[in-house]
Structure 1
Amino acid sequence: MQAFEPRDPYGAALGAVQRFAAAGRFLPGEPIVVTDLAAEVGLSATPVREALACLAGQGLIERRRGRGYFYPALDAAEIIDLFELQLAYLNAALTLYPRGLTPLRKAVVAVDPLAGVQALFDAVIAQSSNAALILAHQRVVDRLKAVLTAERGQDDSDGAMVRTMVSMIVEGRIPDLLGQLDAYHERRCARVPALMSEAR
């Protein structure tokens, strides 16, 4: 019996690597061996190498000249930079709402407070309907995957922060929410060393 070969091996390889990264399959700093990964997903090395090159161009995989591909290990400064980028994206989504506050309110009240602050952030960005903003934010989230998982594990607020932020949006208190986000950002940046040790 002949093995199934996808019509688009590059697309299959790209999807597989993205799924692996989203599932936490790679550890920060871990080398990604093209031939091993290709065998694991049932493809030749060429489409896997092309997919890794594409993801390296997006900053989701690290390419080290002469050494191959690695899953990026973020240092504290890079994590803080990515947190700041996420904060900027949230500010944009919360202050540039051409469709009014109603879609924003609907999006955030659907978020389960126990899902954590990141679920709320994702909902705020998604409701913006700005494709470039949504894509840029998803890239930040993808880069921060291990850190966000560690952050979620340290969250013992029982959804209180999410409920507070949702209330502010429902009441139309966007300036207050922006201040709350700034304060949250400062606290999460202070926790970066602990998040880094947990994310390893």
Structure 2
Amino acid sequence: MSNALASAPLDAAAFVKSQIRTVPDWPQAGVQFRDITPLLQHPKTFRVLIDLFVQRYIDAKLDYIAGLDARGFIIGPVLAYELNVGFIPIRKQGKLPYRTESQSYELEYGTATVEIHADACGAGDRVLIVDDLIATGGTMMAGKQLLERLGAVVIEGAAIIDLPELGGSALLRSAGLPLFTVTEFSGH
């Protein structure tokens, strides 16, 4: 492999990271919010981002992409389309119209619940979970638990951004979930 090809994914990841806007003190003082909307505004940036995920999963023999509410719904369906697999929404409680399975998880100040349709996937289906970022890992862990309850094999969790200091990626890996992230930021 030539040096140019070997370094292309790193260059693409650096390009993606350079397009993420940091908004200080939002939604509260001390938080450095990582805003992905600039990635979506420019066709080249969005294509580079999606292509990074497609290249990683093109040979993964997936059955579904599961997107976490709400920003996992941005990347997930596009990736599912590109990989010619189905898409499963994992929604906030009360948003799905059919029979659901629920999973609650801890937040910094309370709990939240996500749901999946009870017939979203079946035993042995290979599923990738997608979200915009991994912070505390609670939402992705709840999604993993829901999919596994339905019999799916969760092959990996994927996100644009990892915030490793918040402990989510370590939590998910210790629970046996391999992770792929395009980039990471230190701090909150």
Normalising by structure 2, report the TM-score: 0.26
Higher relative contact order (CA 8 A, sep 6+): 1
Higher strand share: 2
**Scaled by the length of structure 1, what TM-score is found?**
0.25
Between structures 1 and 2, the one with greater helix share: 1
